[in-house]
Amino acid sequence: MTEMARKRRWQRFVDPQSGRALIVPLDHGLTMGPISGIARPEDIFSWVNSGAVTGVVLHKGLAARLAGDLECGLVVHLTGSLSLDEKPDLKHLVTSVEAAVRLGADAVSVQTNFSAATASHNLRLMGQVVDQAHAWGLPVMSMVYDKSPSTGQALLRIRHFMRAAVELGVDALKVAAPTSLEAVPEMLDGIQSHTPVLFAGGTLADERALLDLAAAVRRYNAGGMCVGRNIFQRANPARTLGRLLDVFRGGTTTEIAFACRETRDEVEVAV
């Protein structure tokens, strides 16, 4: 009965022209503290309502303070841990679906860092959140990461973790991009047709690599991108967002990369 409600709410995160989501996670403060780019609310509002952002991810405290002025979709993040924790990869519930509903959330998200030590915890976490969120008609985005110490069979492992999340009913996935973008089709195979897959931006890097990822998203029909530090830690976040949206809508990375060369401040960290 709630499937239509979830689909309608997820559409709030999708750019109607490109059919892809461009979500900016802003939940880093709980994990890392007041890092550059999100240390003050005014840092965020200097670019977040530029028109390119389709949604943001916030913890409940900032959602309560900022959501009323947002012009995009709101994902309330339900899990967290501190980077200085003894087990920082073990994410715990820090709020509830009901609290997210009271905040006006359009969706909720959970982070699941998979390893042998966390796998069973993550399955219980996702199963519980999906049941509760779907009862309210809210879509669930699962941020799925491979934290296994082994370097072999990485693609096979992440596909297993993604499939596990799908088996438990999540509505969208956020994953790290593969080392080679040529592996994107295999990563999406059997999933993207029914569950949108969004690629993370990772740590601050050269903007051309970010544009190449956006081009791969368009080329292989992925669900979009969920990019935090590669947006809010740039000197001009709105410009980078506009370029990503241009790629989603059919602009060529060659044309946009030329514009990047004209403005070499793209990897400056905001202060």
What is the full per-residue pLDDT of the chain (271 aa) written as tens digits? 589 999 999 999 999 999 999 999 999 999 999 999 999 988 999 999 999 999 999 999 999 999 999 999 999 999 999 999 999 999 999 999 999 999 999 999 999 999 999 999 999 999 999 999 999 999 999 999 999 987 789 999 999 999 999 999 999 999 999 999 999 999 999 999 999 999 999 999 999 999 999 999 999 999 999 999 999 999 999 999 999 999 999 987 655 555 555 555 545 544 4
* Strand bridging mode 79-80 / 92-93: antiparallel
* pLDDT at residue 149, rounded to an integer: 87
Establish if 267 belongs to a structural domain.
no
Is residue 268 situated within a structural domain?
no
Q: Give the list of residues 6+ apart from residue 23 with CB closer than 8 angstroms, or none.
A: 13, 53, 54, 55, 56, 57, 73, 75, 198, 224, 225, 226, 227
271 occurs within a structural domain:
no
Q: Which domain holds residue 66?
A: 3-262
In terms of pTM, does the model score above 0.85? yes
Token representation of residue 5 = 């409600």
Whether 191 maps to a domain, the answer reads yes
Strands in 107-169 per DSSP E: 107-114, 140-146
Q: Residue 103, Cβ neighbours under 10 Å: how many?
A: 17
Crossing angle of helices 237-248 and 207-219, rounded to 10°:
30
pLDDT at 96: 98
Check residue 271 and give its pLDDT.
42
Is 8 among the domain residues? yes
Structurally, the chain folds into a number of domains equal to 1
CATH at 200: 3.20.20.70
Main-chain dihedrals φ then ψ at residue 266, nearest 5 degrees: -65, -20
Q: How many residues does the chain have?
A: 271
